[in-house]
Amino acid sequence: MPKSKVDLYAAIRRDSRTGLSNRALQRKYGVGFLTVKKALESAWPEPRKKPAPRATRLDPFKSMIDQMLRADLEAPRKQRHTVKRIFDRLVDEHGADEISYQMVRGYVAERRGEIRLQAGRGVVDAFVPQTHKPGAEAEVDFGDVTVRLAGELVTCYLFAFRLSYSGEAVHRIFASAGQEAFFEGHVHALNTLGEVPTGKVRYDNLRAAVARVLGFSRQRIEAERWTAFRSHYGLDALYCQPGIRGAHEKGGVEGQIGWFRRNHLVPVPEVATLAELNAMIDRWDEEDEARRIRSRPRTIGEYFAAEQPLLAPLPDEPFETGRLFTPRVDRYGQIGVRNNRYSVPVRLIGRTVRVMLHASELVVYDGREEVARHERLIAKGSTRLDLDHYLEALVRKPGALPGATALDQARSAGRFTPVHDAWWAAVRKAHGEREGTRALIEVLLLGRHLPHEHLVAGLAAALRSGALTADAVALEARKAAEADTRTPAKPEPPTTNRATVTSLTERRLAQLPPDTRPLPSVAPYDQLLRHRRPDRPTL
């Protein structure tokens, strides 16, 4: 039997052309005379008639609901009827005890839009297609992302700058969405694109740019630093409406962030630093130029190649994106910046320093001299300490080193390795707790002049040979540095497992220039000898 009425009509028409009579067709397919007649008249069945709507218990109250919805058109936005309020009024004022809330909700959902259209108020959620001029328009936004950073799951922020015509987008991940990240994201994006859009750039009402929204208009009181930044780069800002309506006004970058997050950040990336992740993002941005957006005939890169000559040039001078602070160093050798604490050299205790806070790092200056540089902390109330900043104090207080917070953080960061611990244990066993710790501190001070990997190699060599002095470690570290820079002309013969330690005296003598002076002589000293008297003759 045919599966549908269309198949039934097709079968009846086919058999009729072979000569079967109407009665035979009725018997074969089990249908009546009218069905066969309609099938022979048209290959397409008549549409099924929609049954007349059945009467419901809500019918007597529909006109009352419509009246309430029409009154809402002139009522204040926050004082309009909700479905619950309509239902309560029907029950209280009109005795509608037999109707349910679900019946009212379904009718209101259908009628509210119809009444609005009948009143000439237009469609509530209508989207009007836009045509973007090349080189003129762009959109900017932040989106939160989750990253496993150094083994810890943290929330970071994805900055996106997207050209509206070509869809070319530049992304950057920061630890925060503050003004420093907002500025640095712009600088990176504009430097990557090579030019600046000549028209409007659409923004949310984020605090990094907008100090206050003025009523329901598009006028804004901007943050002063943002005004200066815009003026420097020649950006013309257009601020979207607050809330979900504003998100629809820059749907290109909203969708771009979602697409980038789903395609490049799934699964959750695991990196050691944000710099490593941003290097991956730069590579992904280059690869994305080869994709097509929906049904466009050309790729993003091809559209951008046509758009790039129409952009405005970048300014010649850079803009300082960091924020300046002037904290005072406390007695713990720390400064407080944005609810976090960072260490500085203990020699600066009690002094006021200058701090330049960037999106991903913090730089401390004493006058014009840079004295500390830290990766910016993400969580509030955290502390980041550098063991090197406390070495001068630990020389006088070696007993404070084993329990020092800076030592724990150095171990976690991999700066204080198991080789350090092994050499420290050996030197304490040989020279005692106090002197052994001081020897370790002297070794750590060598890190200010020697690369970390060479110092670790020197510690390992000194530990293997049993040389438990800072001078021996310094010598072995310098030998490791020289081995890295020296390129052997031929393969060196295999060495034994036993490490050798060169004497400091021999090394210093080997580096002296050749001595061309004559060998000393003691002959002139013969003049000081007494002349022997001649022997007297004997009688």
User: Is it the case that residue 495 has pLDDT exceeding 70?
Assistant: no
The torsion of the CA quartet 286, 291, 293, 299, rounded to 10 degrees, works out to 90
- Could you tell me if 284 and 177 lie in one domain? yes
- Could you tell me if 93 and 166 lie in one domain? no
SS3 letters for 248-291?
A: HHCHHHHHHHHHHHHHHCCCCCEECCHHHHHHHHHHHHHHHCCC
User: Is it the case that residue 517 has pLDDT exceeding 80?
Assistant: no
pLDDT tens per residue, range 200-249: 999 988 888 888 887 666 788 888 889 999 899 999 998 887 777 666 77
Measure the CA–CA gap between 411 and 418, rounded to whole angstroms.
Answer: 9
Task: Look at the chain and report how many structural domains it folds into.
Answer: 5
- Could you tell me if 306 and 334 lie in one domain? no
- Could you tell me if 166 and 279 lie in one domain? yes
**pLDDT for 499:** 45
**pLDDT for 148:** 93
- Could you tell me if 419 and 478 lie in one domain? yes
- Could you tell me if 210 and 284 lie in one domain? yes
Identity (one letter) of the amino acid at 197?
P
On average, the pLDDT of the chain sits at 87
CB of 62 within 8 A of CB of 90? no
In a domain? residue 22: yes
In a domain? residue 283: yes
**pLDDT for 211:** 82
Q: What angle do CA 157, 159, 161 make, to 5 degrees?
A: 170
User: Is it the case that residue 264 has pLDDT exceeding 80?
Assistant: yes
User: Is it the case that residue 485 has pLDDT exceeding 80?
Assistant: no
**pLDDT for 511:** 58
CATH number of the domain residue 256 falls in:
3.30.420.10
**Average pLDDT of 464-484?**
88
Top pLDDT among 12 and 529 is at 12
**Average pLDDT of 315-336?**
92
**Secondary structure (3-state) at 447:** coil
- Could you tell me if 401 and 259 lie in one domain? no
Least confident of 33-47, 291-305, 335-349, 483-497: 483-497
pLDDT tens per residue, range 445-457: 999 988 999 999 9
Final residue belonging to a domain, choices 295, 313, 331 = 313
- Could you tell me if 329 and 238 lie in one domain? no
**pLDDT for 219:** 80
**pLDDT for 533:** 58
In a domain? residue 512: no
Asked whether the bond before 267 is cis by omega within 30 degrees of 0, the reply is yes
In a domain? residue 128: no
Residue range of the domain that includes 36: 5-41
CB of 471 within 8 A of CB of 439? no
**pLDDT for 372:** 95
- Could you tell me if 429 and 462 lie in one domain? yes
| Confidence label for 436 from pLDDT (cuts 50, 70 and 90) | very high
In a domain? residue 202: yes
| Confidence label for 124 from pLDDT (cuts 50, 70 and 90) | low
Contacts of 169 (CB under 8 A, 6+ apart): 160, 161, 162, 163, 253, 256, 260, 285, 288
- Could you tell me if 359 and 221 lie in one domain? no
In a domain? residue 230: yes
- Mean pLDDT highest for which of 79-88, 125-134, 218-227, 247-256? 79-88
**pLDDT for 537:** 56
- Could you tell me if 406 and 292 lie in one domain? no
| Confidence label for 496 from pLDDT (cuts 50, 70 and 90) | very low
Measure the CA–CA gap between 400 and 66, rounded to whole angstroms.
Answer: 80
- Could you tell me if 141 and 243 lie in one domain? yes
pLDDT tens per residue, range 143-162: 999 999 888 899 999 999 99
Least confident of 43-52, 195-204, 515-524: 515-524
User: Is it the case that residue 182 has pLDDT exceeding 70?
Assistant: yes
In a domain? residue 183: yes
Least confident of 245-249, 311-315, 332-336: 245-249
**Average pLDDT of 345-372?**
93
pLDDT tens per residue, range 274-300: 999 999 999 999 999 999 998 889 999
Least confident of 5-19, 94-108, 197-211, 239-253: 239-253
Helix (H) or strand (E) holding 72: helix 62-72
Identity (one letter) of the amino acid at 263?
N
Query: Which one, of 380, 183, 174, 415, lies nearest residue 273 by Cα?
Result: 174
In a domain? residue 495: no
Query: Which one, of 424, 354, 427, 350, lies nearest residue 387 by Cα?
Result: 424
User: Is it the case that residue 490 has pLDDT exceeding 60?
Assistant: no
**Average pLDDT of 463-471?**
89
Cα–Cα distances in Å, from 136 out to 166, 197, 307, 357, 432? 11, 5, 9, 32, 72
